Structure 1
Amino acid sequence: MDANTAPSQIEILNLLKLVRPWTMTGSSKVRIGNDYDGGYVLPAQVLHCDAIVSVGVGPDVSFDLVLAERGAKVLQYDHTVEGLPQQHPNFIFHKRGWGARTEGDFLSFDDIFAHLQALKPKRAMLKFDIEGGEYEVLEAIKPEHLAFFDVVACEFHGFEKLHDRRFYEGAKRAFEKLSAQHVPVHLHANNALGVVLVQGIPIPLLLEVAYLRHDLDHFPSFSHDPIPGPFDRPNIPGRVDLCINPF
């Protein structure tokens, strides 16, 4: 494929299909964290996780705090903040970000995974919101490291660049890698930004996706639940949530 050729409409639709949520036959969903930005809707298996890798702390640790209160150790990474807005004995904060390699302010996932393994967890969850850096780091992560996590929650950025072939291919590789061992089970559009039109397709600029490892449930079909669903809340209070039922 010519690197200068923009992705076609069918390619964009096939890409979005990779994050379309599936039904779960044996699992329910829970909302963890506050009622706006910083809260996540996840499969309930997360409540059994004893270790959390939380990348991109920012000013809100409400999600981390709920799981720490349940006894989970929470490894937190963020090079953009000086410290945590709230402390907990189960928080382990690193003033480093997640990068494709260890250098400067960033740690590779090999190093983050070593921190996790030192805790000897039985079940783990990965959460990351790294403002557009997700595609590069997912390119570098080892599939066996990703497969270790029961639940993965992340935010994807930059969909206004989907007309660019290079960005499209990087996003496609990221979605495919996440889908190799995990199944998307919840999708929500962050209403902090609006939508962009790419090849005639309206796409939210920010998408939050929750995944469950495929061996932890059965996934018979795509979900037809409304988006937003009953557990979702607008990230920015006072603004209407974005409806993406066509997904």
Structure 2
Amino acid sequence: SPDQMRAFATALHPRRTDLVRIGPADDGGYLLPDVLEGIEACFSPGVGTCSDFELACAERGMQVFLADATVDGPAVDHPAFHFIPKFIGGYDDDTTISLDTWVEACWPGTGDLLLQMDIEGAEYASLLAASPALLRRFRVMVVEFHLLGQLAADPFFAIAASLFAKLLADHDIVHIHPNNFCTIIDVAGVPTPQVMEFTFVRRDHLDDLGWATQFPHPLDIDNDPSRPLALPEVWFHG
């Protein structure tokens, strides 16, 4: 319903904090809170053709774990890169691995991690299956959420609402960037970019400056410069 959809968007309003841009000055770069010092490893499911974000993490001293069954490896090599040719999902089999199994195999323990996920819709099953203990290890998460134009459909709305509630148990959203390779869809009266990048920070590392009210952020860059797309006002605290 329109009321449910509006409440969903309101619950995701970002908090304001100091952000830095990591990665390239176009598609593939992300805005993160300036709290990366001391993060031990970056887990990056979904590799694609650009590994500049992961390279920037490696140059900050992180070990970087990459997974993608659709490519042979990352776009560039680095001694800190560790790649597996698998899909990330909600279970383990010959082609797919869950976040918990992957992290436990690569970087067990309690050290803080960074998650950067762009897996074309598999984020819902992957993150719903992830244990709360694992999610708490991620000091920062940047997740590209797909299929948001379908939010009005049952049972997807309930699944997405459940996932965001789970992610917000220990984290706050500090940035939303609509990916303008896609368009805006009217979902129960709420203008909704079909793909949006959400940045989360674990609450113990949030320097909370109130609501974020400036979108796009000065460091935001359109994924496709030929057609700028602003975050609709319903998605932030105007």
CA RMSD, Structure 1 to Structure 2 (Å): 1.5
TM-superposed deviation, 1:238:
2.4
Q: Secondary structure at the match of 1:168?
A: helix
Describe the superposition over 1:206-236 as per-residue Cα deviations: whole angstroms up to 9, x where unpaired. 1111011011135363222x21110100012
SS in 1 for 2:182: coil
Q: Are residue 40 (structure 1) and residue 38 (structure 2) matched?
A: no
Query: Following the alignment from structure 1 to structure 2, what is the Cα–Cα distance between the partners of residues 218 and 40?
Result: 19
1:15 to 8, 17, 26: 8
- The equivalent residue for 2:47 is 57
Which runs of 5 or more structure 1 residues have no equivalent in the other structure? 1-7
Are 1:180 and 2:173 counterparts? no
State the Cα distance separating 1:16 from its structure 2 match: 1.4
Q: Is 1:184–1:212's contact at 8 Å kept on the other side of the alignment?
A: yes
Partner of 2:160: 171
Look up the SS of the partner of 2:83 in the other structure: strand
Do the aligned residues in 2 keep the contact of 1:51 with 1:116 (CA within 8 Å)? no
**2:220 aligned with 1:227, yes or no?**
no
Contact preservation (8 Å) 2:65, 2:82 = yes
**CA distance in 2: counterparts of 1:243 and 1:187, whole angstroms:** 8
Query: Secondary structure of 1:150's partner?
Result: strand
Contact 2:10/2:234 (8 A) holds in 1:
no
- Paired position in structure 2 for 1:244: 232
Q: Name the TM-score, length of structure 2 as normaliser.
A: 0.93
Q: Distance in 2 between matches of 1:172 and 1:60?
A: 31
Choose the corresponding residue for 1:109, options 90, 99, 117: 99
* Contact 1:55-1:77 within 8 A present in 2 as well: yes
**1:215 partnered with 2:204:** yes
SS, match of residue 22 in structure 1: coil
Q: Say if 2:111 and 2:137, in contact at 8 Å, map to a contact too.
A: no
Q: Give the aligned residue type for 2:121.
A: G
Aligned residues: 235
Normalised to the residue count of structure 1, the TM-score between the two structures is: 0.90
Q: 1:87 maps to which residue?
A: 77
- 1:84-118: CA deviations, max 9, x gaps? 21100000011111111001311012211213434
CA contact (8 A) 1:77 1:97 kept: yes
Contact 2:41 2:64 (C-alpha < 8 Å) held by counterparts: yes
Gaps of 5+ in 2: none
Q: In 2, distance between residues paired with 1:18 and 1:155?
A: 18
Instruction: Report deviation, 1:19.
Output: 2.2
